[in-house]
Amino acid sequence: MKKVCIFGGTFNPPHIGHLIMANEVYHALDFDELRFMPNAKPPHKEASNLVSGEQRLHMLQLATEPFSYFQVEPLEIERGGLSYTFDTMNELKSRESQTQFSFLIGADMISSLDKWYKIDELVEEVNLIGVRRPGFEERSDYPVTLIDAPLIDLSSTTLRNRFKEGKDVSLLLPENVQTYIRQEKLYE
Ligand code: ATP
């Protein structure tokens, strides 16, 4: 079986917190591949200043370019509508029957798992992998494999605000993503 870790999120925009956690988890659990998967509409989040799915896919393609084992999964953007992880993972499993899927989340998501659509069924079908996040408890009533990774106190919200205010963002997200955001005026 091929071992693939799906990393779902809004990625508005992707940042080094995402890249570092993905990289740590990929190596710690010996995955064959790790796929960043932007959602069309997050069910659990107020999507403030949400740029288009195509633009978020493009930013992820730029951010993952240097890493051969990072891929980008367009399924939820192509499907549109609300993105329920349970539906998505079932679709992926039926497309790729020879793959064992895991799903990566940060601590803010770990503590809200009880609100997820069909969470009891979801945890039967995929391994949930979690990482800590500053300011959030990683407590959960559901099985989550916790992986140690450097704590990064950074969010997409902080970056959107910095772009808007014209503040420095160097080192917080890949340079090619910064250039694209400025060219397209995504967060002005
Ligand atoms: P926003 O500020 O827009 O809410 P975000 O920074 O939380 O965005 P998302 O794209 O919503 O980023 O996050 C995708 C996934 O990555 C979620 O599971 C989230 O918990 C996790 N994540 C994001 N940033 C971090 C971080 N700095 N440390 C740990 N996990 C993180």
The alpha-helical segments, DSSP class H, found in the chain are: 16-28, 53-64, 75-79, 85-95, 107-110, 119-125, 156-165, 175-184
For ligand 1, atom 19, the nearest C-alpha belongs to 106
Looking at residue 112, what DSSP letter applies? Answer: T
In the chain, the domains with their CATH numbers are 2-151 (3.40.50.620)
pTM, two decimal places: 0.97
Say what the alpha-carbon torsion angle 156, 42, 86, 57 is, to the nearest 10 degrees.
Answer: -60
Cα–ligand 1 centroid distance for 106 (angstroms) = 6
Condensed to tens digits (0 to 9), the pLDDT of residues 138-173 reads 999 999 999 999 999 999 999 999 999 999 999 999
Condensed to tens digits (0 to 9), the pLDDT of residues 76-108 reads 999 999 989 999 999 999 999 999 999 999 999
**Among 16, 34, 15, which residue's Cα sits nearest to residue 25?**
34
Cα–ligand 1 centroid distance for 26 (angstroms) = 17
